[in-house]
Amino acid sequence: MTLTVPASTLDYFGIDSLIDDDTRQLQAAVRAFVDRRVRPEIATWYDSGQLPARELARELGDLGVLGMHLQGYGCAGTSATAYGLACFELEAGDSGLRSLVSVQGSLAMYAIWRFGSEEQKQQWLPPMAAGAAIGCFGLTEPDFGSDPSGMRTRARRDGSDWVLSGTKMWITNGSIADVAVVWARTDEGVRGFLVPAGTPGFTAPEITRKQSLRASVTSELVLDDVRLPADAMLPEAAGLSGPLSCLNEARFGIVFGALGAAQDCLDTTVEYARSRQIFDRPLAAYQATQLKLADMSLELGKGMLLALHLGAAKDAGTLDHRQVSLGKLNSVREAIAIARECRTILGAAGITLDYPIIRHAANLESVLTYEGTSEVHQLIIGQVLTGHSAFR
């Protein structure tokens, strides 16, 4: 590799040499989609708090990224690494875009694919892979996020039916979903249910006034004695291991995705620093600027190497779910630090939507929290290292 001024920060690390040709082409296709469809519009979507989610879902289905790492039922069946790199490119566009894809594929579709009956898979997975149907995943509740074992949503039997009551909160895609995967406590433990939109007693009011993930649909799910037939239950999921395994799939995408937001911030900042004149010199020519850029580039590159290592382990079937905590914690923590540092180089320009920095920084505040807070992942790592649980 000849080292010249790199077109992108990660070019310096020779990352492409670690990725096979097919995966590299898929990543390039997603990047081209983001460049063509998302970048010209994302500041407007973010500013207005509106996302053409249904339209984008169709286009993302045509691109083949919805449930792309699942096998069969219209899904692309790619490697985990390819899925991760797609998340990287999507989140370089916006965290809200990657969230739409993650919730669709790694939460709602994965739950049906892994725990559903054959009839449920045939009914929902092909249209969801095509983006013709949208799913959401209802686990978090107003009072129970990090501790899902305390959930209050209940499902009781009434003859051959199930009747669900409760509330879910902070649900991506909720108010536009055609089907909700809802987890509820039963006399037999926690079980998952498929709740189609329009079912009597089921509503999904949108959450507004957000200052993060504005280009994303976030909702509450309200279940007021929602009656479902017996075959609405996911037959293969029993206990919290079901929803937690779905969360682990989504966390894996975040390991790569957050780094995409960081690269977009850093590439934007390098370009800005080269062109911005300060005291008759480019901002990039100052030592303080170069020190910041060097440190950020190093952390981004290390994060990407860890992500690719975890992707290779997942593809080999050797990835321990607790190792994903290493990646999620590191990627999001470093990405948000990079976004904040990049903002300092852009100065006042960094707080406007003319540049993506403040948008990524605000989005990453949410990514830092969802699919397990940083503190939760620290404690998972701590438990592995010490053999002692500090959760209680």
Could you list the active site residues?
371
Q: Give me 160's structure tokens.
A: 């051959």
What is the distance between the alpha carbons of residues 128 and 112, in angstroms, rounded to a whole number? 11
Bridge partners (DSSP) listed for residue 141: 144
Collect all residues with Cβ–Cβ distance below 8 Å to 158 and sequence separation of at least 6. Answer: 227
**Looking at beta carbons, which pairs linking 314-320 to residues 24 or more positions away fall under 8 Å?**
314/80, 314/81, 314/252, 315/79, 315/80, 315/81
Residue 191 Cα distances to 42, 152, 183, 187, 249, angstroms: 37, 13, 6, 10, 18
